[in-house]
Amino acid sequence: MNIILIGPPGAGKGTQSHFLEEKHGMIQLSTGDMLRTAIKHEEPVGLEAQSLMAAGKLVPDDLMVRMIEARIAKPDCARGFILDGFPRTVPQAEALDKMLVAQGKKLDAVIELKVDEAALIARVSGRFACANCGASYHDTYMPTTKPNVCDACGGKEFTRRPDDNAETMKARLEVFRIQTAPILPYYQAKGLLKVVDGMADMHDVTKAIEAVLNQTPA
């Protein structure tokens, strides 16, 4: 199955993608992670994206479309993918439709994670990740089992995203409302949109997503 997870920053897209990867063998395609990797490796794409990301603004559509087009053409996507962070604008959604047709693929469901703004801010402010393996945590909602030791790899260094601060978060929420939310009616009109309550405990959110996937014709 090929699905999209849509929601504002901190809605739980990455967390749920990882659960679905583990349980269902689908592949997470996170454009945010791809951009952060490009920045780390000082690739031209990363250099172009860095200041925009730091300001909470979107990276240009054509760059993002080319990035995802190359990625979904790879053989590992044949067993199903989860788009996390793409599309973020109506032109990206339209470009996605075209590339899927060209590659003989289709979307099975678009899942919106609904979370209220106060919760989003609390989630993003407490988010951190293992510097070695990238495993994601939260100060309160998903702490490491042993303090300062990554559960997944034993790593002891952690990072916080530079854009996960109160001021940039305000800009990102506004960008979501103005530029990304209009893709919800776009998918609603295609009969693909499913809404899941993202305020619930993370495991209950996973169950709600699985219920949606079970009702989706393969």
- Which of the ranges 17-25, 35-43, 143-151, 176-184 carries the binding residues for Zn ion, by CB under 5 A? 143-151
Reply yes or no on whether 160 is catalytic.
Answer: no
Instruction: Reduce the DSSP state of residue 103 to 3 states and report it.
Output: coil
Which burial class, exposed, middle or buried, applies to 140 when counting CB atoms under 10 A from its CB (0-12, 13-18, 19+)?
exposed
57 or 160, CB closer to Zn ion?
A: 160
Give the x/- contact pattern for Zn ion in 152-171, rule: CB under 5 A: xx-x----------------
11 or 20, CB closer to ligand ADP?
A: 11
**In angstroms, rounded to a whole number, what is the distance separating the alpha carbons of residues 39 and 48?**
9
20 or 64, CB closer to ligand ADP?
A: 64
- Cα-based distances in Å from 12 to 3, 156, 167: 15, 24, 20
Contact in structure between 17 and 205 (CB atoms under 8 Å): no
Question: Which runs of consecutive H residues, i.e. helices, occur in 103-165?
Answer: 117-125
Reply yes or no on whether 156 is catalytic.
Answer: no
6 or 217, CB closer to ligand ADP?
A: 6
Q: Which residue has the tokens 């075209």?
A: 98
Least distance between ligand ADP and beta carbon 143 (Å): 9
Q: Half-sphere exposure of 214 toward its Cβ, with a 13 Å CA cutoff?
A: 6
Q: Is 37 in the site for Zn ion (CB under 5 A)?
A: no
**In angstroms, rounded to a whole number, what is the distance separating the alpha carbons of residues 76 and 92?**
22
Reply yes or no on whether 36 is catalytic.
Answer: no
Contact in structure between 218 and 1 (CB atoms under 8 Å): yes
List of residues contacting ligand ADP (CB under 6 A): 7, 9-15, 31-32, 35, 52-53, 56-59, 64, 85-86, 88, 92, 123, 126-127, 136-138, 141-142, 172, 201-202, 205
Q: Which of Zn ion, ligand ADP, none sits in contact with 64, Cβ below 5 to 8 A by type?
A: ligand ADP
Q: Which are the catalytic amino acids?
A: 13, 88, 127, 161, 172
